[in-house]
């Protein structure tokens, strides 16, 4: 059990105030007993704009943010390459952390976060938002209870068009999106035994990142899984595979879909608003504040899961580079 916070209002500070910070700010505002105290962002114009939008303080430096006694927890919402630096800074100043995915650039980086967090008795929660959806939790309960019988297959599909200027800010879909798929599979079925992967770049003019990747995996039970991540095109057909998670067993099956709730207005970078995007982050933040910080309980997906997910991503990269099946 990690340190518990008993204050009436838990103060949150954001390091990084890009797109995802907008969803996290809404999530904190929806969580009773939590508030966004302030933010720091590398580009000062963006910092000023977001601080005004969120109605919070605009810190001059990340050090000033982590030293503020009103900040109990830090959300690290910058790009992947700087997650370790800011997570360490927050932990060294006694703050709990929620760090966006992918948590680190390498397994070694995530292990460094884990050992520092343990030495400080503080929680670091990976931004593994999908598993905080009720449909995911129920699916896992059904699998664990044996109610779906012998699991034969699982599918995690993602087909959401991202324009090139948005994709340019991220790694390719292997790291950016298959990280989600990896922790989802770990949460539902545990660690796979081996995998093979392929990728392609189909709709960008200039950037080199892949915009589609697919993975086949085998679980220790023999069950097979398939992961697909695409920024290349939306799926406009009936019952689209926008974001779809399916588990099929000999005694039952389940489905989770982003298409269960759709608002006809553009999302941040999506052509429509999938309510589950905000909803899963709202649930994740609620769990972080109420369960992890107030009760000392673990997150639903831990740093160990982030390490296992990163190993899967690195296995995908090896499989793609060498054209081989990779054991885990």
Please give the residue ranges that form the binding site for ligand NAD (CB under 6 A): 16-21, 41-43, 46, 77-82, 100-101, 127, 129, 169, 176
Half-sphere exposure of 104 (CA within 13 A, CB side): 25
Q: Please give the residue whose beta carbon sits closest to ligand NAD in the complex.
A: 18
Nearer to ligand NAD, 100 or 210 (CB): 100
Q: Return d(Cα 168, Cα 165) in angstroms, integer.
A: 5
Residues 148, 252 contacting (CB under 8 angstroms): yes
Shortest gap between Cβ of 85 and ligand NAD (angstroms)? Answer: 8
Shortest gap between Cβ of 249 and ligand NAD (angstroms)? Answer: 28
Q: How far is CA 327 from CA 102, 140, 178, 321, 322, in A?
A: 22, 25, 17, 15, 13
Nearer to ligand NAD, 101 or 151 (CB): 101
Nearer to ligand NAD, 49 or 216 (CB): 49
Shortest gap between Cβ of 281 and ligand NAD (angstroms)? Answer: 7
Residues 37, 68 contacting (CB under 8 angstroms): yes
Shortest gap between Cβ of 101 and ligand NAD (angstroms)? Answer: 5
Q: Return d(Cα 201, Cα 254) in angstroms, integer.
A: 31
Residues 21, 43 contacting (CB under 8 angstroms): no
Tokens found for residue 13 = 């500070």
Q: Return d(Cα 141, Cα 147) in angstroms, integer.
A: 9
Nearer to ligand NAD, 100 or 317 (CB): 100
Nearer to ligand NAD, 241 or 258 (CB): 258
Residues 278, 26 contacting (CB under 8 angstroms): yes
Shortest gap between Cβ of 327 and ligand NAD (angstroms)? Answer: 27
């Amino acid at each position: 059990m990690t340190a518990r916070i008993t204050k009436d209002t838990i103060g949150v500070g954001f390091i990084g105030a890009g797109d995802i910070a907008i969803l996290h700010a809404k999530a904190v505002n929806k969580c009773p007993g939590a508030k966004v105290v302030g933010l720091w962002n590398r580009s000062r114009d963006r910092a000023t704009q977001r601080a005004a939008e969120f109605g919070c303080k605009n810190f001059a430096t990340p050090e000033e943010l982590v030293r503020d006694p009103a900040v109990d927890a830090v959300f690290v919402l910058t790009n992947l390459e700087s997650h370790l630096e800011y997570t360490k800074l927050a932990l060294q100043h006694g703050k709990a952390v929620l760090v966006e995915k992918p948590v680190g650039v390498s397994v070694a980086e995530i292990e460094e976060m884990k050992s520092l967090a343990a030495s400080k008795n503080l929680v670091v929660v990976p931004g593994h938002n999908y598993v905080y959806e009720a449909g995911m939790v129920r699916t896992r309960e059904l699998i664990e209870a044996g109610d779906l019988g012998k699991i034969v297959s699982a599918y995690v599909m993602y087909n959401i068009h991202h324009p090139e200027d948005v994709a340019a800010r991220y790694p390719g879909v292997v790291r950016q999106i298959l990280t989600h798929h990896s922790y989802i599979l770990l949460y539902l079925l545990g660690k796979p035994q081996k995998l093979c992967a392929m990728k392609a770049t189909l709709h960008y003019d200039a950037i080199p990142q892949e915009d589609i990747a697919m993975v086949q995996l085998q679980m220790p039970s023999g069950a097979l899984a398939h992961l697909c991540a695409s920024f290349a095109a939306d799926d406009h057909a009936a019952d689209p595979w926008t974001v779809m998670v399916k588990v099929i067993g000999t005694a039952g099956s389940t489905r989770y879909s982003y298409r269960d709730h759709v608002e006809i207005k553009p999302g941040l970078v999506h052509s429509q608003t999938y309510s589950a995007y905000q909803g899963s982050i709202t649930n994740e933040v609620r769990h972080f504040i109420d369960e992890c910080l107030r009760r000392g309980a673990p997150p639903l997906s831990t740093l160990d899961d982030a390490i296992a997910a990163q190993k899967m991503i690195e296995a995908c990269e090896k499989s793609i580079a060498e054209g081989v099946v990779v054991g885990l």
